[in-house]
Structure 1
Amino acid sequence: MKKFFTAIGVMAAAFALSLSAASPATAVRPPGPIHAPTPVKSRIESTATVDGEVPDAAVEQRTCRARFAEGVNHRRLAEVGATILEVIPAGTWVPVSCERRAGGEYSACGLTSDYWMEVYWNGAWGYSAWSCVSEWEYTS
């Protein structure tokens, strides 16, 4: 009987170790680029319409990317006073929304505007100055 309970204890310990070894905190990140998660509906463009309506079965979801002419602030909200998450370096391609969004007015890259681009950078969605976009394209 003692061997039986010892065997159960060993199996339980092995199971607990296998769970802790597979936890995300100890997982090794594979090399390569970080891809943005699949955009939610507010971050896509619907391209199929029928009489101004977008039927659920006919919606083609598109994703986009852009790069900025200058290093731009990646902000939590589409406002000049919003928290700056990081600075996106000039010329870096980043996943973005396929539409610009109105927000607070700013002056950047030689223009004054109130349009912002929703941007995915270093694991977070945020906003950057739309007037600084140098190139933009659909990725799907």
Structure 2
Amino acid sequence: MVMKRIFTAIGVAAAALALSLSASSPAAAAPVEAPTPVKSRIENAAAPDAAVEQRTCRARFAEGVNHRLRAEAESAIIGSIPAGTWVQTSCTRVAGGEYTACGVSSDFWMEVYWNGNWGHSAWGCVKDWEFTS
């Protein structure tokens, strides 16, 4: 009976030691980070500091997009920009309402000049974007 208690105590101590070692190992301590979902194909494009240099930009869209009055999916449509058409744009993106278009979800919009009007179109649909000056 005494031997059984000694072996039980040794087993409990060994199990406690094993658990404490596994909990303090680097693999168990470091949480696995999930990848950040991609919201736009060009979200990381760097624009110049506006205070340093004023630049102009242009973009073209992968698909035909709505040209909206405001940066919101429910905003009035003031035109439609055909796919592949180069348009004058601002050199920065603007935050607005959430939308899903061109296979991505985002809340970033691009200020676009189209048919004599400034408006907004979905940043996630931009195929090509570049500085023009």
Query: If the length of structure 1 is used for normalisation, what is the TM-score?
Result: 0.60
Deviations 1:45-101 (A, max 9, x none): 6537xxxxx4xxxx3110000000000000000001100001000000000010111
Alignment of 1:1-140 (within 5 A): 47=49, 54=51, 59-140=52-133
Amino acid at match of 2:84: G
Q: How many residues were matched structurally?
A: 87
Amino acid at match of 1:138: F
Amino acid at match of 1:106: Y
Structure 1 distance, partners of 2:48, 2:125, is 25
**Secondary structure of 2:75's aligned partner:** coil
Structure 2 distance, partners of 1:71, 1:47, is 30
**Secondary structure of 1:62's aligned partner:** coil
Structure 1 distance, partners of 2:61, 2:70, is 18
Structure 2 distance, partners of 1:132, 1:104, is 15
Percent of pairs identical after alignment?
A: 69
Amino acid at match of 1:47: D
Identify which of structures 1 and 2 has the higher relative contact order when contacts are C-alpha pairs closer than 8 Å and 6+ apart: 2
Structure 1 distance, partners of 2:53, 2:65, is 30
Which structure is larger by alpha-carbon Rg, 1 or 2? 2
Q: Tell me the residue number matched to 2:41.
A: none
In the alignment, structure 2 segments of 5+ residues that lack a partner are 1-46
Structural RMSD (CA): 1.3
In the alignment, structure 1 segments of 5+ residues that lack a partner are 1-44, 49-53
Query: If the length of structure 2 is used for normalisation, what is the TM-score?
Result: 0.63
